Structure 1
Amino acid sequence: MMDNKDLEAEIHPLKNEDRKPQESQGDPCKSPPPQSRLSRCRSVAFFLSLFICLFVVFVVSFIIPCPDRPASQRTWRIDYNTAAAYNFLATEDINGDRIQDVLFLYKNANSSSHPNRSCIEEGFSVPCAFFAAVSGANGSLLWERPVAQNVTLVQCTSPQPRGSEVVPVCAIVDGPTSVVAVDLFTGETLWNHPGSLEGNSSILSLLLGVPDVDGDGLPDLLVLTKEKEEVNSYVYSSSTGSQVGGKGSLGSNTEGNWLLHVTKTGAYYLLFSCGHSLCSRSMKDLLEEMTGKEIPLKRDPLWEQAINSTTHRVSSPSSGVIRHQLHVPGKAGKDLLLVGTEACVLLDGQNLAPKWTLGDAQVFRKPVLGHYKPDTLAVVIENGTDADRQVLLLDLSTGAILWRQPLPGLSGTPQAASLLTADHRSAFFFWGLPEGVWANQTETRDTLHSLYMFHPTLPNVLLELTNVSSNIVAFEAVLFEPSRHAAYVVLTGLQNLATPGPVSLTKHKIRDCIPDSRVLHLGQDRDSSDQVIRDHFSRLRYRSEA
């Protein structure tokens, strides 16, 4: 028979095991083993870490205030009473609030709103040309500077991220020969190169981004001038404005439309129109001619074969007199779109072979890129003028017509624009005459212009967003904040600097214009009501270019 101890051990084995260590401890005052102290330290460390994390979360969430996000006004307007407007608009985040700001030029018959920066203080007579930057959020003035007596030409660098070594600048031609470089962040003049050309000379074009010639590590400025019948070139340091080397010659048959192109191999070529042909000069050859020294640039073998060494003509299909030439993205670098009086031609940017040709083209405005199909580039061609104008959307890879619409407009009709939407297509914006006056009429000071909006998801619909009776000098569709705030900016006024009048710069949020817009049905298909169509446009979301 089991005794009581054995029976208890069999019934409660754990209890018996727990009792054994206690019996073996001996002295109750003996310190605990090291394992117990380690366990306690781990517990203390865990709870201390948890307390610190909770404290940090509390401080970040409730004590440290979140940075104030600037509130973007849906619309704002700036007015000048006795001024004239220049055909120039640009955007750049100047004040660092992550909202695009607006830059524009105007000529004021009065002094600036800042007496210490008046025309007289800057050495100009009244009136003079002012360069101004206003906040895209609320239209408040960021800076305003007199920069020239009269602006004849302006060229700006592409937007640069803050902290970049390349300072975003605008080069402004004052009169026929003087060039001024302005810092876009501050409006201050970086340098001023007074006119040093011959008496009958004039500046035709400015090209920023020329390979560094003076060795300061920054791209330089190429200035093209006309002296009697000869077109010449000069290079200026973008950091100091000092001339580098002498002048180069582009010949007497040069007509303009200059473009700086970089081939896939990294060779630089200057493209320009010469008669009914396209001409080109290697920048290596041109810069060596101007400086008299070896320039470490490349020549592209394919381009050298395509260019006549004597006439500099490029062997390519004739497009007539070239009115515009622009870069478009290609599979292997940038391709070239030539817009001429006879045709539009897309050339391969590496071997200059034609990819497609659109004949019988009468394009007077610069084409605009966008997306008709998702992630597929298209180009907007405004073909013809006045009552015969048609808006064409072409597939950029094939030249096929994706959409065509008659849209009468006068010679002063602003250029089209596009904004990328979240579905990887684009919303397109066109100016034209209102539907009720789609007939021959002459342009007057109070001609009514309508702004139309189109999206490829509704190919048989146009929205008439607004009507503007004032003379439109410049127009841009801008994504002020990524995925948040798309708006259009209009600069109105007279360009006649001899008779100044009212000038206005206005921003309107696109979404706010849609509820009061007018729906234009382009075909017989009217499956959806006007309100359903407006709601569809209101739901569009916009995104930044990749």
Structure 2
Amino acid sequence: MMANKDLEAEIHPLKNEDRKPQGNLGNQSKNEPDSKSKPLQARLSRCRTVAFFLSLFTCLFVVFIVSFIIPCPERPPSQAMWRLDYNAAVTYDFLAMRDINKDKIQDVLFLYKNTNGSNNFTRSCADEGFSTPCAFMAAVSGANGSVLWERPVAQDVTLAKCAMPPPSDNELSSACILVGGLGSFIAVSLFTGETLWSHSSSFGGNASILSPLLQVPDVNGDGTPDLLVLTREGQEVSGAIYSGSTGYQIGHRSNLGVDTDGVALLHVTKTGAHYVLLPCASALCGFSVKSLYEKVTGKESQFKEDSYWENKLNRSAHRRLLHSTGAVRYLMNVPGKAGQDLLLVSSEACMLLDGQDLVPRWTLDATQVLRKPILGHYKPDTLAVVIENGTSTDRQIRLLDLSTGSLLWSQSLPSLPGGPPSTSLMTADHRSAFFFWGLHDLVSTNEMEPQDVPHSLFMFHPTLPGVLLELANVSANIVAFDAILFEPSRHAAYVLLTGPASSDTPGLVSVTKHKVRDLVPGSRVVHLGEGSSDSDQAIRDRFSRLRYRSE
């Protein structure tokens, strides 16, 4: 009988609880609190469940609202091609690219000279106190070619330099500095076009200003990079420092003791000392920013001097650092193993100099370099330098390994006298696409007048060394050219500034943007030598698949 009750209790445990033995009645009072807490725990459990599902529903509702009902901010459409024209105008060899309207697309800055601006703006030369015609600066949207701002800036422009983008949006650090033809010295805001400061220069009536305007580190402690302006009057070259925030001269002008009319370069040695380098006939001259500042102000400077360089300068009567074979024509900073190295091009050779001890790493015989070299990547993550040697009609393009000077690629590419410069863009495979201007048939056309021969833009990529892609033909006079990434890792495009060849003859001035990828399908494939086994369409497809990246 007892066994049957135990079996029933195992099968129906709840029944057993309902019929508790009388012997357990004495313990009922001890268990009473537990029996009261069970409904409370059940209610808490139900509340937690409700709260969980309510939170989940709220989150899903918010995701739904954000994803489907509230529209995402629209990215401005970037047109593949746009063009802006000005009639009866002349233009300057100046192009700058900056993101002016903060849409993450690079915009275009340029200068032109006209009686009036475009129809979008009403400011005239007379409104700014200039006689007509005068120089205008314009900022154009890289996305669609619309004018962001445009205003008269000077009677004429001799030099222009836009500051490098600063880490912050400090307006004084984001300015274009202009030197006017009648001695005006102006800073214009990149964002608005408004004048930040304007002064009559103290350069001297007969002085010519040497290019470029050099942006030097902040010497007066106001947080804005300052400007070094070099001028030449007769046989005397002088230097003066100007505040980047106010435009006022810091100290007085000082004779540098050098004789040059070449392009100056700011170089930082591997010890962190800033030096200004200048070509002096068949030599390289220089002086430290520290010594110039102390000379023009009479105050001690926080800048460094390099003892090795100072010893070389002190042993020379004319501030010479290095003797060169032939006249120095071009000088540029290039990345080195532990800082900046120097690439020097003379009338007889091209050489890479160690940026500290100025010892040649390699030398290339190049007797007639047409223009300043450019850098790019022929091999992945390995810098190469492009040397254009010869005259325009027998131009030879050479790509050299920057570290060793060894020849990587060469090609004859005739061009017109004074043709546009070459440039390069980094591609996603850590190489570069190179852009060269030349003649359509890659042969000399001496029987034709230069103005009748169109410029052809050729594209080259190291993965197809036996092929050039002819992207475009331009008959107009090209004043300035550049190829850039308008959007990081999105699309590459080139910008052309065309206008009259002479500033005395106004005509049509045009600014044009073309997306590179959209030009590839209609391009002409030029096979070099043996050529590629791929069809022309397969080659175009490979160029179309190229992706670009920021340096």
Could you say whether these structures have the same fold, taking a TM-score greater than 0.5 normalized by the shorter chain as the test? yes
1:95 aligns with 2:101: yes
Other structure's SS at 1:117 match = coil
Conserved? CA contact 2:171–2:189, under 8 Å? no
SS at the partner of 1:481? coil
SS at match of 1:494: coil
Structure 2 residue 190 is the aligned partner of structure 1 residue 184: yes
In 1: Cα distance, 2:16 partner to 2:377 partner: 81
Q: Which amino acid aligns with 1:465?
A: L
Could you tell me which residue of structure 1 aligns to residue 285 of structure 2?
279
| Pair 1:86 & 2:89 matched | no
2:53 partner SS: helix
Contact 1:112 1:118 in 2 (8 A): no
Rounded Cα–Cα distance in structure 1 between residues aligned with 2:8 and 2:197: 102
- Report the alpha carbon displacement of residue 391 of structure 1 after superposing the two structures with TM: 0.7
In 1, distance between residues paired with 2:33 and 2:486? 79
* Matched positions, count: 545
* Identity of matched residues, %: 65
CA deviation map 1:227-250 (0-9, x unaligned): 222110111111111111001212
Corresponding position of 1:265: 271
Pairwise CA distance, 1:94: 0.5
Asked if structure 2 preserves the Cα contact closer than 8 Å seen for 1:85 and 1:495, the reply is: no
Q: Aligned partners of 1:384 and 1:313: how far apart in 2?
A: 32
Query: CA contact under 8 A between 1:489 and 1:505: conserved in structure 2?
Result: yes
Matched, 1:388 2:384: no
CA shift for structure 1 position 498: 1.4
In the superposition, relative to structure 1, how do residues 15 and 209 fare at CA in structure 2: closer, same or farther (>3 Å)?
farther
- 2:68 is aligned to 62
Instruction: String of CA shifts for 1:479-532, please: whole Å, max 9, x gaps.
Output: 111222211111111142211011111111111111111111102143111111
Distance in 2 (CA, whole Å) between partners of 1:436 and 1:264 is 43
Q: Which residue of 1 is the match for residue 338 of structure 2?
A: 332
Compute the displacement of 1:301 (Å). Answer: 2.1
Q: Deviations over 1:331-363 (max 9, x none)?
A: 211111112211111112222222111113421
1:101-135 deviation digits (Å, cap 9, x = unpaired): 11111111445535641111111111111111111
Task: State the Cα distance separating 1:412 from its structure 2 match.
Answer: 1.8
1: CA distance, partners of 2:231 / 2:221: 24
Larger Rg computed on CA atoms: 2
Question: What residue in structure 1 maps to residue 160 of structure 2?
Answer: 154
Matching residue's letter, 1:504? S
The answer to whether the aligner puts 1:53 opposite 2:45 as a matched pair is no
Give SS of 2:215's match. Answer: strand
Deviates most, 247-256 or 74-83: 247-256
Gaps spanning 5+ residues in structure 2: where?
none
1:86 Cα offset (Å) = 0.8
After superposition, the Cα gap between the structure-2 partners of 1:199 and 1:424, relative to the gap in structure 1 and judged at 3 Å, is same
Among 379, 404, 419, the alignment partner of 2:425 is 419
Q: Quick one: which of 231, 238, 241 aligns to 2:237?
A: 231
Which position in structure 1 is the counterpart of 2:151?
A: 145
Give the equivalent residue in structure 2 for 1:366: 372
Counterpart code for 2:107: D
Shift of 1:477: 0.6
Equivalent positions of 1:128-527 (< 5 A) are 128-161=134-167, 163-164=169-170, 167-175=173-181, 177-316=183-322, 318-435=324-441, 437-440=443-446, 444-527=450-533
Q: Which amino acid counterpart does residue 159 of structure 2 have in structure 1? A: L
Name the residue aligned to 1:8: 8
Distance 1:60 1:18 in 2: 56
AA of the residue aligned to 2:281: G
The 3-state SS of whatever aligns with 1:362 is coil
Report the Cα distance in structure 2 between the residues aligned to 1:148 and 1:415, rounded to whole angstroms.
Answer: 27
CA contact (8 A) 1:112 1:119 kept: no
- 1:98 Cα offset (Å): 0.6
Cα pair distance change 1:345/1:14, threshold 3 Å:
farther
Q: Using the TM superposition, name which of 45-54 and 61-70 deviates more.
A: 45-54
Please state whether the residue corresponding to 2:211 is helix, strand or coil.
strand
How far is 1:143 from its partner? 0.6
- Structure 1 CA distance for aligned equivalents of residues 143 and 113 of structure 2: 24
Q: Is the 8 A contact 1:447 1:471 kept in 2?
A: no
Please tell me the root mean square deviation across aligned C-alpha atoms, in Å: 2.5
C-alpha deviations, 1:232-288, integer Å up to 9, x for none? 011111111111100121225223220111222221111111110111101111111
TM superposition shift of 1:542? 0.8
Distance in structure 2 (CA, Å) of the matches to 1:15 and 1:317 = 111
Q: 1:176 to 1:399 in 2, by over 3 A?
A: farther
Aligned residue type for 2:432: S
Bigger mean CA deviation after superposition, 256-265 or 197-206:
197-206
- The one of 75, 80, 92 equivalent to 1:74 is 80
Give the match for residue 104 of structure 1. Answer: 110
Deviations 1:388-415 (A, max 9, x none): 1111111111111100000011222100
Displacement of 1:62 in angstroms is: 2.2
1:14 and 1:400 mapped to 2: Cα distance? 93
Query: Which consecutive unaligned segments of at least 5 residues does structure 1 have?
Result: none
Query: Would you say the 8 A contact 2:352–2:362 is kept in 1?
Result: yes
Q: Residues of 2 paired with 1:224 and 1:477: CA distance?
A: 30
CA contact (8 A) 1:410 1:443 kept: no
Deviation at 1:184, TM superposition (A): 1.1
Q: How far apart in 2 are the matches of 1:157 and 1:326?
A: 18
Check the 8 A contact 1:76/1:138 in 2, yes or no. yes
TM-score (structure 1 length as normaliser): 0.94
